[in-house]
């Protein structure tokens, strides 16, 4: 074939395609799911409890469900930048809703579960037989221990690790502990999000990783429960947590955002343009109902006794399920 004959055709096709890109919210942005499946974007650290709830729901309602797991910010970017809209969004930090998704993508969110920071390890980890919830700061500082953590600029677990370490310095009254523990997990021991650390820990490259209790349970890792004053898991210790704060990257690379310590709260919502709003509503109502809460507890997720809805415009069935006892 002659190349010359190709060129004009290419140019013609290219010219006809050269229309402005569709704007956010237009139908051309597309939906994440296909056919009748309801699509749930889930923070990786609660992937397994949400999967269990989805499976129960799917069997009962005879619907197909599709779960996509990722980092909370990753998920938010899929909606805001790529205009891929799922039916339900479940995030590891409720702040991501007001910071990135409201009011364009949704007008409300429901806090529904707690989690706590833990120090996870395996049988192969150095000093695995000695470590416990009181001596861990010393054990971690022994030579040769590799400690992994998530990127604080990209992942809630990453900045929560820094907050926990700051609180540990105050709690154990050991000035300089934060700096010493940070030196133990330099840039080379950082991975994008906490779920990425698990495989590296299991491969033996890390001895210990900072993680969530739900994730350590789901991945069947051994873990150390930290004092409640530093694990960001106890609402009663909110005042204590507020004494810690870290600076992370803001909305652009030039901004920084100060994050204060507070209890870890998971939240979910249904996007305004969810492709299957009815099924999404049904699922969220199920998850927030007493039955859904019990199911989450059974899969080792610390579901709130009474889910809390923030914002306006939530479906009536969701509000009713959340307040039912």
Partner 1 sequence: MTHAGAGEDRTLPRSLAAHRTASIVAGLCGSIFLLFLVAPIARLVAGGGTSGVSALFTDAELRGALWLTAVTATLAMAAGALGGTPLAYLLARRSFRGKAVVAAVLDLPLLIPHPVAGIALLLILGRESAVGRVLLHAGIQVAGSPVGIVCAMVFVSAPLYISAAREAFARVDPRYESVARTLGDPAWRAFRRVTLPLSMRGLIAALVVMWARAVSEFGAIVILTYNPKVASVLTFDRFTGFGLTEALPVAAVLSILALIPLVALRALRPDHGAGMDV
In the chain, which residue ranges form alpha helices assigned H by DSSP? 3-17, 47-61, 72-80, 96, 136-140, 156-171, 177-184, 194-202, 213-218, 238-241, 277-288, 290-298, 316-323
SS3 197: helix
Window contacting partner 1 (CB under 8 A); options: 90-98, 203-211, 219-227, 289-297:
203-211
Residues in contact with partner 1, total (CB under 8 A)?
36
Residues 55, 133, 205, 294: which binds partner 1 (CB under 8 A)? 205
Kindly identify the residues of this chain, within the stretch 116-135, that bind partner 1 according to CB under 8 A.
124
Q: Kindly write out the interface string for residues 159-198 of this chain, putting x where it contacts partner 1 by CB under 8 A and - elsewhere.
A: ----------------------------xxxxxx---x--
Smallest distance, partner 1 to C-beta of residue 76, A: 9
Burial 112-141 (b: 16+ CB within 10 A, else e): bbbbbbbbbbbeebbbeeebeeeebbebbe
Window contacting partner 1 (CB under 8 A); options: 4-12, 24-32, 108-116, 220-228:
4-12
User: What is the spatial distance between Cα 307 and Cα 91, in angstroms, rounded to a whole number?
Assistant: 14
Structure tokens at 11: 């140019």
Sole residue written with tokens 């994440």: 32
**Which is nearer to partner 1, 8 or 175 (by Cβ)?**
8
Sole residue written with tokens 């942005």: 29
In order of 54, 94, 293, 309, 324, the CA distances from 317 in angstroms are 18, 21, 16, 12, 11
Residues 29, 31, 51, 77: which binds partner 1 (CB under 8 A)? 77
Smallest distance, partner 1 to C-beta of residue 89, A: 16
Residues 58, 184, 200, 308: which binds partner 1 (CB under 8 A)? 200
User: What is the spatial distance between Cα 289 and Cα 74, in angstroms, rounded to a whole number?
Assistant: 28
Binding of partner 1 by 220 (CB under 8 A): no
Binding of partner 1 by 5 (CB under 8 A): yes
Binding of partner 1 by 154 (CB under 8 A): yes
Smallest distance, partner 1 to C-beta of residue 306, A: 33
Q: Which residues pair with 224 in a beta bridge?
A: 119
**Which is nearer to partner 1, 14 or 316 (by Cβ)?**
14
Binding of partner 1 by 114 (CB under 8 A): no
Q: What is the dihedral of CA 240, 235, 309, 285, to 10 degrees?
A: 150
The answer to whether 96 touches 72, Cβ cutoff 8 Å, is: yes
Binding of partner 1 by 26 (CB under 8 A): no
Structure tokens at 279: 């099924």
Binding of partner 1 by 252 (CB under 8 A): yes
Kindly identify the residues of this chain, within the stretch 32-71, that bind partner 1 according to CB under 8 A.
71
The residues of the shown chain that bind partner 1, judged by CB under 8 A, are: 1-2, 5-6, 9-10, 13-14, 17, 71, 73-74, 77, 80-81, 124, 146, 151, 153-154, 187-192, 196, 199-200, 203-205, 249, 251-253
């Amino acid at each position: 074939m002659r190349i010359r004959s190709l060129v004009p055709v290419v140019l013609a096709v290219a010219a006809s395609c050269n229309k402005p890109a569709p704007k956010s919210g237009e139908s051309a942005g597309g939906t994440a799911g296909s056919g009748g499946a309801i699509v749930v974007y889930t923070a990786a650290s609660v992937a397994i409890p949400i999967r269990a709830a989805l499976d129960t729901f799917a069997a009962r309602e005879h619907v197909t469900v599709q779960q996509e797991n990722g980092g909370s910010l990753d998920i938010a970017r899929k909606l805001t930048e790529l205009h891929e809209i799922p039916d339900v969004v479940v995030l590891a930090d409720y702040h991501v809703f007001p910071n990135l998704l409201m009011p364009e993508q949704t007008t409300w969110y429901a806090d529904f579960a707690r989690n706590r920071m833990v120090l996870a390890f395996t049988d192969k980890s150095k000093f695995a037989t000695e470590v416990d919830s009181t001596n861990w700061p010393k054990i971690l500082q022994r030579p040769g221990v590799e400690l992994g953590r998530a990127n604080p600029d990209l992942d809630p677990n990453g900045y929560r690790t820094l907050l926990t370490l700051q609180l540990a310095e105050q709690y154990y009254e050991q000035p300089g502990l934060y700096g010493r523990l940070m030196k133990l997990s330099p840039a080379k021991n950082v991975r994008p999000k906490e779920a990425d650390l698990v495989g590296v820990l299991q491969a033996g490259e890390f001895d210990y990783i900072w993680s969530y209790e739900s994730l350590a349970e789901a991945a069947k890792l051994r873990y150390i429960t930290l004092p409640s004053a530093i694990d960001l898991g106890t609402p009663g210790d909110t005042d204590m947590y507020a004494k810690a704060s870290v600076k992370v990257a803001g909305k652009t690379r030039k901004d920084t955002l100060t994050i204060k310590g507070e209890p870890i709260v998971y939240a979910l919502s249904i996007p305004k343009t969810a492709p299957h709003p009815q099924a999404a509503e049904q699922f969220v109502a199920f998850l927030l109902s007493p039955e859904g809460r019990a199911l989450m507890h059974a899969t080792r997720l610390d579901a709130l006794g009474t889910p809390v809805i923030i914002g306006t415009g939530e479906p009536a069935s969701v509000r009713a399920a959340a307040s039912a006892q």
